[in-house]
Each structure stands twice: as structure tokens, then as C-alpha cells.
Amino acid sequence: LIHLQKRTDIIIRPADKNVGIVILESNVYESKVLQQLQDTEFYNKLNYIPSTQIFKRIKFELNQLFNNKQISFYILKLLLPMKPTCATFYILPKLHKIKCPGRPIVSGIQHVTSNISKYLERHLTPFISHLHQIAIDEYQIDNYIVLKDTNHLLIEIENINKELNVKNLNIKNLTLITGDITSLYTNIDQDDGISTLMKFISSYTHITNFPLSLNAFGKLLDLVLKNNVFMFKGQYYHQVKGTAMGTALAPPYANIYVFCKEIVALKQFIKKYSSRLLLRFFRFLDDIFILLLSNDILIINELQHLLNSTNPNLKYTFEISKSNIHYLDVNIIKNSTLNRLETSLYVKPSNTFQYLQFSSSHPRHIINNIPLSLSNRIIRICSSTTSKWYEFFNLFTRLLSRGHNATNILRKILELENSDRHELIQRPKKTNKKDIHQNVIIPFHSQLPNIRLIFQNEFSMNIPENIRFIYKCDPNLHNLLIRSRYPHSFYDIVPEPDTNPLGSYRCQNPRCITCKHIIEQDWFMSTVTNQIFIIPYSANCGTSNLVYLITCTLCHSQYVGTTSQTLRNRLNHHLTAIKNKYWHDTTCPEHFNSAQHSIEHLKIIIIEKNYINEQHRLDREHFWIKTLRAQLNATT
């Protein structure tokens, strides 16, 4: 497993849409990533490390807002980043698409704008549930619905069936249309996005008691959208168009932006034809579902044209059917006999059904209830008995193949089989009662006894019901093998612009002992291969976070080392170890105390600096040991 973790010739990634795990050759993965990053319409390549600069700008802007009393001190502390960090870029292979393109993701958990992004997401999300009412009040469109999830869609389909019956509408005249907005997140122009959201907030800020002034909101949104910098393979990039799929702000931001644009197109369509023609317009992020009471292809094309022409940044693609179509994880079928829409479970052809293995080290109640939760989903989605039992049979065979107990599967299916589908679809009403729980989080192990019973039996203590013991799973193969950072980033360093001459130099401090040993030049060489390397940095005795090279001027043996401290401090440790003959430190004390050798033969040079973290630095040290074939490291 450790060997697999260190392999850099392959990349292990989860596939897009959660359909399995993909193993790609590194060069194939890299070419797919660079194909996107080299598109200068969306990304700019940077020749410097941008984190510190952006970190300072964010601190300045936030302090300005605080000084102008547009945000409180509490919000200031909440939004300030802890340190200048940078996101990483990766892709999720789309197995269901031709040539397997990648979905671009920016892992922004540690990004300098992540605090601001989470804050804006928290205050923009409540607007989404009000978009339907805004469409009614402001645009007189009562059939525009932004979906929350599959359950919401199923509820709306039941409402449509009632409407077909009450209004005596013929389902044969109904055309089913699905589509999506191509690369939504990356295609939204940043300036247009900011102005559109600011206009929206200024009009509807009263709906959710929005806590920010318009100016403060605009500045915070600008900071998130225009400072999306990330790293791939040691190279830094800046996204100049769109927003990152991975930042918390993206879903509500894109949702509101699309609403503001497409509602105008729908208003034009209804004005030209009729509101009765557009039975429903559903959207879930970038996926749309339209029910049109017309079979006229010209009218359908007109609707698509209006949606595409309202905003050049949004490109809608349509798929049309007069009988059945799939949307989200639902098959939607026209039943002409009963004059209603039926639904069944839709499964992507690429789905590999990687349910949790029965032998997996998880709490048994989780394993045993997997058939129950999956059966619940089948009952909710399948509107006919035939489709329901067809999916039950498929579920039974798939779980058997994952080692699950046949009796338990059947028991859980039958437990729900007679449940009221409508009750399962309807969401339970929220109550005002707030249960305050205190969670005790402990690592899970299959042999772990019941903690609550131990307290009761061994100590005669009754643990209050509000105290819950929550199990935390140990790292699994996914955690151990899949990382957002590209492995080759450990073998690439971005030069940092410096006004000083490039190379390794003395600090010129008259008390500095290191100056006596340092080599002043802008290159270094392997004494084994005679290969020469250029130093693309300016460094001296006071530089820290580096890799250095020690060369013996007598026998030309070399040693590669690394330190997070300054070179001055690290060399002092070496010199002390050599003088006091601390053989356990490194091989340097033994070497420079050997026959005819002395401390005067030790020369040192900084060969690299600017590391992201300790692991990065250690990996680079290992890289240079191998590249330079350092003789003194070979014996450690």
C-alpha cells in the first residue's frame, strides 16, 4: 500500500457522477488537465507564487470594510484567512462521455478566500427557495421551479398529474425536454456575475434579511471570484473567467445568476406564445426539464434560441422526446392510457454499483440497513408496482454480489414494500423543538463493545440520552490513495521573482560562520554524473525552508540535506556534530573526521527553496539525492 501511495506513474481518481474509481497513466491525466489549463480564455499561467499577494489584499479589503463599519469585528475575524494558502486543481474523469474528458475541480478547502466563500454561500442559499415566488410576483410566471432534489421533482410530477386531470389536458400533446447548460461554472463572466448578483440583492435583500450592505457584498464577491488561484504540478494558475467548481459559493451564485438570465427569456417566450404552452420549467443547477404542451419543433427551437440568445455565456442543449425521458435519477414516462406521467428509477449505463461490502469494517447497523435505504429510494421513485419489483430484483442481485445476506435483504425490502409512497416522498414537517446533543467521537473498531453498556454495568452510571457516542471510521483505501494534489507537483518548484542576483551567496554578516563555507555561484553540479543545474533563486545564509548540497573539496563526495530552519542554523548543527564526532547525526561527521579530511573541506550551497509544506520539502530532498547520486546519503 505504501508503494502504491508513492507511485507517480499512475493517478487514482473517483470518476465523475460517483460511478466508480479510475486509474489513469500520469501522462494521460496530465494531458487532459493541461488541455483545459492552456485555454487562455479561462486560465492564465503565473510565473510567481500568488498566495501572499492575495492574502495581503484580502486583509486590506476586509479591514477597510471594518473601518467603514460595513462589517462587524466578529465578521472580520470570521472572514480573515489564517495564512496564505493556495488551492489545488484536479479533474474527475467523465466515463459517460466520449474521449473521457475531465470535470475541472479546484480543491479550495484551504484557499485564502474559503472563509469568505462559505460566508456568502450561507447567506445566498436562502434566496434559492424564493426564486419561484419572485418569478410569480415580478414576472407573472407561475410554472418556473428551481428543484431542491429528486423528492421535490417527484412531488411536482404528482402535482402535474393532478393538473392534467383537473384541466382536462391531453398528455399526448405533451413534449418532454431535458437539457443542460454547458460548463456553467466556468462560463459565467465574472464582471457580469458580480453586477447581476448585486442587482438581484438590491431588489430582494428584504426577503431574507440579508446582513451585508450592497457595497460590502460586491467587494466580498469580487474577492472570491477574481482571486481564484490554484496549483497544478507545481505551476500556479489564475482563473480569469467563471468560478471554481469546488468553492462553497459556486452553487447559489450560479443558481441566482442563471435565474436572472433565463427568466427574461421565458418572459419573452410566454409573451409571444402563451403561459399555457409552458406547463413547467424545472431546473436543478445546470440541468433543466421542460414540459411543453406542443409538439411543434419550431416552437421548441424558438424556446432554445431565446434561452441561448439572452446571454451568450450560457449555452443550452436540448434533448426531446414524446414518450419518455430521464432527468436526474428518474425515468419519466408518458402513460397515454391513464393520461398521467409515470416515474421509474434511472441508472446510468456507467454505474458500477459499488455498494459497501458486507465484510467492510463499519458498524453493523449501517451495513444491515443498506438494503433498507436503497429500497426506500426505489419505492419513492417507482410509481408503478411493475417497475418497483423490477428494481427490487436488481437490488437483490447487486447486494448479493457485494456479499450481503440474502435473508436480511429480503426482510428489509418487505419491511418497506407496503409503505405509502406519498408519505415517503413528502418531507416531514420541521418542529421548533431543538434537541441539544453532546457528541463523543471515538474511532470505530469491529471488536469495540457498547460503550454505554460498559458505563452502566461496570460503573453503575446511566449516560444521559443527549450524550451520543459517534463512531469515526479509520482511513480507508479512498483516503489513503486518492489526493487532490497531482503527485508530480512534488517534483516541480515555481521560481519566485527576486530583484537580487540569482544563485547562492554569503549574507556578508561579519559574525556569520556559514559565509566561510558557502559556495557563491548560480549553478551546482553532480560530482558523479557531471550534470550541471541552474539555481533559479536568490538565497543566502539566512534563507530558510530549503534543500542544500554539501560537497567535500578533497574527495568530491556529496551530501543532500533539507531544513525548515535557516541555512546558518542547520550548518551550525553539522559543524557541531563534526567537531564533537556525533556519528548518529548524519554521515558528515564521520566523513569529515576520516583520514586526511577536515572541516575546512566542507563547502555548502543552497540548491532549492520555496516549498509548500514539509512533505513537499522532504520529497524534493529525496528527488535530489537520487538525481545527484549523493554518495554520503547512500550510506545513511
- pLDDT, tens digit, 9 for 90 and up, residues 256-271: 999 999 999 999 999 8
| The C-alpha cell that represents 214 in the structure block | 450592497
Is 119 exposed, middle or buried, given 0-12, 13-18 or 19+ CB atoms closer than 10 A? buried
Question: Domain containing 603: what range?
Answer: 493-634
Longest dimension (CA), the chain: 105
Distance, C-alpha 309 to centroid of its chain? 31
CB count in 10 Å sphere of residue 12: 18
Please indicate, yes or no, if residue 392 is contained in any of the structural domains.
Answer: yes
3-state secondary structure of 577: helix
Which segment of 174-188, 376-390, 420-434, 465-479 scores lowest on mean pLDDT?
420-434
Q: How many domains does the chain have?
A: 4
- Residue 602 sits in a domain whose CATH number is 3.40.1440.10
DSSP state of 600: G
Residue 613 shares a structural domain with residue 547: yes
Task: Using the predicted structure, report yes or no on whether residue 99 has a pLDDT greater than 60.
Answer: yes
Task: Using the predicted structure, report yes or no on whether residue 97 has a pLDDT greater than 70.
Answer: yes
Examine the fold and report which residue of 394, 410, 425 is the final residue of a domain before the chain moves on: 425
Local confidence band at 432 (pLDDT 50, 70, 90 cut-offs)? very low
DSSP state of 274: -
What are the tens digits of pLDDT across the range 325-365? 999 999 999 999 999 999 999 988 877 788 888 888 788 88
Residue 177 shares a structural domain with residue 85: no
Examine the fold and report which residue of 425, 444, 461 is the final residue of a domain before the chain moves on: 425
Residue 510 shares a structural domain with residue 533: yes
| The C-alpha cell that represents 175 in the structure block | 413534449
Local confidence band at 460 (pLDDT 50, 70, 90 cut-offs)? confident
Strands (E), 151-277: 175-181, 229-232, 235-239
Short-list 48, 53, 50, 87, CA closest to 537: 48
Distance, C-alpha 199 to centroid of its chain? 29
Please indicate, yes or no, if residue 465 is contained in any of the structural domains.
Answer: no
Local confidence band at 490 (pLDDT 50, 70, 90 cut-offs)? very low
Euclidean distance between CA atoms 572 and 569, whole angstroms? 5
Which residues touch 190 (CB under 8 Å, ≥6 apart)?
225, 226, 240, 241, 242, 243
Dihedral (CA of 414, 419, 422, 427) sign:
negative
Residue 324 shares a structural domain with residue 378: no
Residue 551 shares a structural domain with residue 412: no
Residue 340 shares a structural domain with residue 411: no
Question: Which amino acid is it at 16?
Answer: D
Euclidean distance between CA atoms 548 and 527, whole angstroms? 15
Please indicate, yes or no, if residue 621 is contained in any of the structural domains.
Answer: yes
Please indicate, yes or no, if residue 227 is contained in any of the structural domains.
Answer: yes
CB count in 10 Å sphere of residue 320: 17
Residue 609 has φ and ψ, to the nearest 5°, of -150, -170
Q: Taking the CA atoms of the chain, what radius of gyration do you get in angstroms? A: 31
Residue 166 shares a structural domain with residue 271: yes
Residue 325 shares a structural domain with residue 408: no
Local confidence band at 430 (pLDDT 50, 70, 90 cut-offs)? low
| Helices (H), ranges, 273-344 | 297-310
pLDDT number for residue 480:
75
Euclidean distance between CA atoms 228 and 111, whole angstroms? 8
Distance, C-alpha 386 to centroid of its chain? 39
Euclidean distance between CA atoms 230 and 235, whole angstroms? 8
pLDDT number for residue 615:
79
The helix (run of H) or strand (run of E) holding residue 390 is helix 385-401
| The C-alpha cell that represents 392 in the structure block | 427490487
Residue 171 shares a structural domain with residue 221: no
Task: Using the predicted structure, report yes or no on whether residue 494 has a pLDDT greater than 80.
Answer: no
Task: Using the predicted structure, report yes or no on whether residue 574 has a pLDDT greater than 70.
Answer: yes
Residue 182 shares a structural domain with residue 313: yes
Average pLDDT across the chain, whole number: 87
Euclidean distance between CA atoms 65 and 86, whole angstroms? 24
Local confidence band at 13 (pLDDT 50, 70, 90 cut-offs)? confident
Short-list 327, 182, 152, CA closest to 254: 182
3-state secondary structure of 160: helix
What are the tens digits of pLDDT across the range 358-393? 888 788 888 899 999 999 999 999 999 999 999 999
CB count in 10 Å sphere of residue 242: 24
Please indicate, yes or no, if residue 472 is contained in any of the structural domains.
Answer: no
Task: Using the predicted structure, report yes or no on whether residue 98 has a pLDDT greater than 80.
Answer: no
Rounded to 5°, angle at Cα 421 from 419 and 426 = 120
Task: Using the predicted structure, report yes or no on whether residue 400 has a pLDDT greater than 50.
Answer: yes
| CB-based contact 243:189 (threshold 8 Å) | no
pLDDT number for residue 431:
47
Please indicate, yes or no, if residue 531 is contained in any of the structural domains.
Answer: yes
Euclidean distance between CA atoms 322 and 607, whole angstroms? 68
| CB-based contact 606:546 (threshold 8 Å) | yes
Residue 135 shares a structural domain with residue 114: no
Examine the fold and report which residue of 291, 312, 345 is the final residue of a domain before the chain moves on: 345
Residue 50 shares a structural domain with residue 6: yes
For the chain, the distance separating the N- and C-terminal CA atoms, rounded to the nearest angstrom, is 24
DSSP per-residue letters across 125-136: HHHHTTHHHHHH
The helix (run of H) or strand (run of E) holding residue 514 is helix 514-517
| CB-based contact 520:505 (threshold 8 Å) | yes
pLDDT number for residue 500:
66
Local confidence band at 428 (pLDDT 50, 70, 90 cut-offs)? low
| CB-based contact 252:121 (threshold 8 Å) | yes
Please indicate, yes or no, if residue 57 is contained in any of the structural domains.
Answer: yes
Short-list 13, 187, 23, CA closest to 89: 13
Please indicate, yes or no, if residue 64 is contained in any of the structural domains.
Answer: yes
Cell 546558518, residue? 568
Local confidence band at 119 (pLDDT 50, 70, 90 cut-offs)? very high
pTM of the model: 0.73
Local confidence band at 254 (pLDDT 50, 70, 90 cut-offs)? very high
